[in-house]
Amino acid sequence: MDPDEEVLLKGWVGDSDGYIVDYRWRSLSDMDIELTTHADGTASFIAPQIPWGTEIALKFELEVEDNDGLTATDVYNVLVKWNMPPNMGVGAMRVVQPNTNVTLDGSYSNDPDGSIVSQKWEQVSGPPVELMNASNLIASFKAPAEPTVLSFKLSVTDNRGATSQMTVNVDVELVPPRVTSTTQGVEPRENVLLVPDVYWDVPGAYIVDYRWRSLSDRDIELVTHADGSASFIAPQNPGSEFTMEFELEVEDNNGQTARGVFTVSVEGNTPPFMVISYGAQGGVKTNTVSTLSGSASRDQDGVIVSQQWEQVLGPSVELIDADKLIAYFTTPAEPASLSFKFSITDDDGATTEKTITLNVEE
């Protein structure tokens, strides 16, 4: 029973061989209780005031007398305690995107000394919305299409009639997406995939358009894909490492846009290492077949894809297999000085050149 609540005391009395002629109620507690007796044998009183959050047990004695003068007694206990109102749990102000489904969650509400028997959500301010399941602890609605602030009140009542209320605000706001910029390293001729990482500080929107473009001077064929990613083939790099930048602009269903820059570093290429062998001490005899060999040349970070021997000085000779690592020619009939240039190119387009001189002697 709550303080100040009217309490009715009723004794269940029976007499097997007669009937009750008198009911006598009295308080057994130290508190000053004003008992009111009634003709039907019941009694009532107003529960006393007690400090908040405390409780007290009251005792009352009922003595009855039957038509033969016989009596009987019994004790009735009454517990007076404050009814603790329900605790509310609806959270603080929320921010949501326009046109999104919003949940109002009061499921964390509870009653510390009983149970919640009814609840109700109602809108108290803002453009009207249709509340679904308003008589449940969890309700929902669709946010308006335009930015605004909505207020909703939740009322919960416990099994002893105590009601608690709380208001929660919902801020409908256009929140733009964010694009996470990334950096990655790749090798020349590698198929590079640019994957967008897009998020919102407030969920509920979705991307409707991805727009990629290259910020680099290099001629890059950028291929876009349905999932919002883009890809390209990293260019050959005969020199040192270089970087390329690509910009992604996204637009969500609310017309909000954001940009991010993706940096791709293309590793540098080491030119081929050239080794040439020819003649004996740079000298060869007249009218003999001489060999020019670059077969020991190599590329430490790839492969050699082309080579070329070319005469640049001296009486003209016919070079056999000039486009091979090993070439041949017949020396002139007269002493002379011959110069040949050897060029090798690797799979990244880097070229190494070297010129050698042979002295033709008798």
Residue 33 CB-density burial (10 A; 0-12 exposed, 13-18 middle, 19+ buried): middle
Look at residue 342 in the predicted model and tell me its pLDDT.
97
> What are the CB-based long-range contacts (under 8 Å, 24+) for 14-21?
15/66, 15/67, 17/68, 18/66, 18/67, 18/68, 19/66, 19/67, 20/64, 20/65, 20/66, 20/67, 21/65, 21/66, 21/67
Q: What is the pLDDT of residues 12-69, one digit of tens each?
A: 888 888 888 999 999 998 888 899 999 899 999 999 888 877 889 999 999 998 998 9
Rg (CA), the chain: 49
Which among 179, 177, 201, 204 is positioned nearest to 97, based on CA atoms? 204
Which among 61, 99, 60 is positioned nearest to 80, based on CA atoms? 60
Percent of the chain with pLDDT over 70: 99
Q: What is the pLDDT of residues 202-222, one digit of tens each?
A: 888 899 999 999 998 888 999
Q: Which two tokens stand for residue 182?
A: 């990334």
pTM: 0.58
Look at residue 302 in the predicted model and tell me its pLDDT.
86
Look at residue 281 in the predicted model and tell me its pLDDT.
59
3-state secondary structure of 24: strand
Which among 215, 218, 217, 196 is positioned nearest to 207, based on CA atoms? 196
Look at residue 312 in the predicted model and tell me its pLDDT.
96
The number of C-alpha atoms within 13 Å of 248 and in the hemisphere containing its C-beta is: 27
What is the set of domains in the chain, with CATH numbers?
Answer: 6-81 (2.60.40.10), 94-172 (2.60.40.10), 177-266 (2.60.40.10), 277-361 (2.60.40.10)
Residue 192 CB-density burial (10 A; 0-12 exposed, 13-18 middle, 19+ buried): buried
Banded pLDDT at 317 (limits 50, 70, 90): very high
> Is pLDDT at 282 greater than 70 in this prediction?
no
Banded pLDDT at 280 (limits 50, 70, 90): low
Banded pLDDT at 83 (limits 50, 70, 90): confident
Look at residue 113 in the predicted model and tell me its pLDDT.
86
